[in-house]
Amino acid sequence: MMDISHLNNKFLRMGARVKFQDPAATRARVPLRMSLLDIQEDRRGEYFEITLHSDAEPQVLDLQPDDRHLLLLIREAKAKSKFLCGHDERHWFVAAIPEKAPVGTVRQAKEALKPHVVRVAQSQKKIAHKSRNRRKMQHSSGRANGSFCLF
């Protein structure tokens, strides 16, 4: 198995535990053809479980420790897969980024995961890029709006 200490350190920097699973130890009845990412839980809480295929080359493209998110690229054979790994209000999560989305940062990954209609509404309302991932949007008066809807 490859040296995973660098990858482990990136997850630790965002406050997450990660465990690497041996592909031979997976419960799959068929040979593992692709890497797997999942969230598991033990007595210490949630953690990322990563099973890397033998030819997998993982790389953290972007790390935002204050936001508790990272963008992970896994190259396998001729395929490239990107995953947004992070923490929402209560739990750790992994989200696969659409293959056609050209993302290289956590911010771009978050945008790529939004439905098209939401991205269009953000543009029509001229919401600044730095404000697009806030829980509450600002009125022109500067006061926070309690609404989560952009329509």
DSSP classification of residue 98: P
Query: What does the pLDDT read at residue 78?
Result: 85
Phi, psi of 131 (to 5 degrees): -100, -5
Q: Note the pLDDT of residue 129.
A: 62
pLDDT in tens, 84-118: 999 999 999 999 999 888 999 999 999 898 888 87
Over residues 127-140, the pLDDT tens digits come to 666 665 665 555 45
Instruction: Tell me the pTM.
Output: 0.79
Please name the residues in contact with 8: beta carbons below 8 A apart, sequence gap of 6 or more: 18, 20
pLDDT for res 53: 84
* Partners of residue 126 on adjacent β-strands: none
Q: Among 136, 137, 141, which Cα is nearest to 127's? A: 137
Most confidently predicted of 26-30, 77-81, 93-97, 98-102? 93-97
